[in-house]
Chain A
Amino acid sequence: MVIMDTNAYDDMLKTAFPAIRANEPVCTKSSHFQVPKNLLPAITHYIHTQPNLRGKLTLLWACDHRPSRDTYGLYYLFTLEASHHWMVLSTELTNTDRLFPSITPHIHAAQWYEREIRDMFGLIPQGHPDLRRLVRHEHWPKGTHPLRKDFPWNCVLGRQQGTYHFPHIEGEGVFEVPVGPIHAGIIEPGHFRFSVAGEPIMHLELRHFWKHRGVEKLFEQQPLTDAVSLAERVSGDTTVGHSLAYCQAVEALLHLDVPRRAKYLRSLFLELERLYNHLGDIGAMCNDTAYALAHAHCGRMKEQIMQLNDRLTGSRFLRGVIQVGGVPRDIENAQLVKIVEELNRIQSDFSEVGAIIFANASLTDRLETTGVLNEQTAWDHAVIGIVGRASGMNCDLRRDRPFAAYDELPVNVALYRYGDVRARLRVRGDEIHESIRLIRDIRRKIPDGPIACQPGSLPNPGDWTLSAVEGWRGEILYAVTAGEGGQIHRCKVRDPSFVNWPAIQWAVLGNIIPDFPLINKSFNLSYAGNDL
Chain B
Amino acid sequence: MFRIIKKSLKIGVVTGRYPRAETPAIPIGAEVKEKAGLFKRSLTIREVDTGSCNACEMEMNALLNPVYDAERCGIHISASPRHADALVVTGPVAINMERALKDVYKQTPDPKIVIALGDCAINCGLFKGSYAVTGPVDRHIPVDLRISGCPPRPAEILEMLTELRKPTV
Contact = CB atoms under 8 A, between A and B. Distances in A.
Interface of A: 137, 140, 146, 151-157, 181-182, 184-189, 209-215, 217-218, 229-230, 233-237, 239, 280, 293, 296-297, 299-300, 302-303, 306-307, 310, 316-317, 319, 349, 352-353, 355-356, 359, 526-528, 531
Which residue, of A155, A189, A213, A306, has the highest number of chain B Cβ atoms within 10 A? A213
Contacts of A302: 62, 65
Nearest to A294: B4
What class of interface size applies to chain B in its complex with A?
A: 35 or more
A218 B54 contact: no
Interface stretch (B11-19, B28-36, B140-148): B11-19
A154 B131 contact: yes
A193 to B, nearest CB: 16
B150 to A, nearest CB: 8
A114 to B, nearest CB: 21
Given A211-B94, A213-B94, A236-B53, A184 B79 contact: yes
B19 to A, nearest CB: 7
B7 A146 contact: no
Nearest to A211: B51
Contact of A210 (B62, B65, B92, B97): B97
Interface of B: 3-4, 7, 11, 14, 18-19, 47-62, 64-68, 77, 79-81, 91-92, 94-97, 100, 104, 125-127, 129-133, 150-151, 153
Contacts of B153: 310, 316
Given A187-B49, A213-B92, A302-B62, 5 more contacts: A153-B129, A187-B57, A211-B97, A217-B131, A236-B58
Contacts of B67: 299-300, 303
Contact of B65 (A153, A230, A236, A296): A296
Contact of A356 (B3, B64, B79): B3
Contacts of A531: 94
7 contacts: A153-B129, A210-B96, A217-B130, A299-B66, A303-B18, A317-B55, A352-B7
Contacts of B94: 210-213, 531
Nearest to A222: B126
A186 B58 CA distance: 8
Nearest to A138: B96
B56 A236 contact: yes
B128 to A, nearest CB: 9
Contacts of A215: 127
Nearest to B59: A316
Nearest to A307: B18
Contacts of A527: 54
A212 B95 contact: yes
A217 B131 CA distance: 9
Nearest to A183: B79
A276 B79 CA distance: 25
Nearest to B58: A237
Contact of B3 (A153, A229, A306, A355): A355
Contacts of B127: 213-215, 218
A140 B133 CA distance: 13
B7 to A, nearest CB: 6
Contacts of A213: 51, 92, 94, 127, 130, 132-133
B56 A157 contact: no
A186 B47 contact: yes
Contacts of A356: 3-4, 7
Contact of B49 (A188, A235, A303, A307): A188
B4 A235 contact: no
Contact of B97 (A189, A233, A296): A189
Contacts of A234: 53
A415 to B, nearest CB: 28
A237 B131 contact: no
B72 to A, nearest CB: 14
Nearest to A209: B96
Contacts of B51: 210-213, 528
A218 B130 contact: yes
Contacts of B60: 186
Contact of A186 (B61, B100, B129): B61
Contacts of B66: 296, 299-300
Contacts of B65: 296, 299-300, 302-303
B96 A300 contact: no
A302 B80 CA distance: 27
Contact of A211 (B18, B79, B91, B126): B91
A188 B4 contact: no
A293 to B, nearest CB: 7
Contacts of A528: 51-54
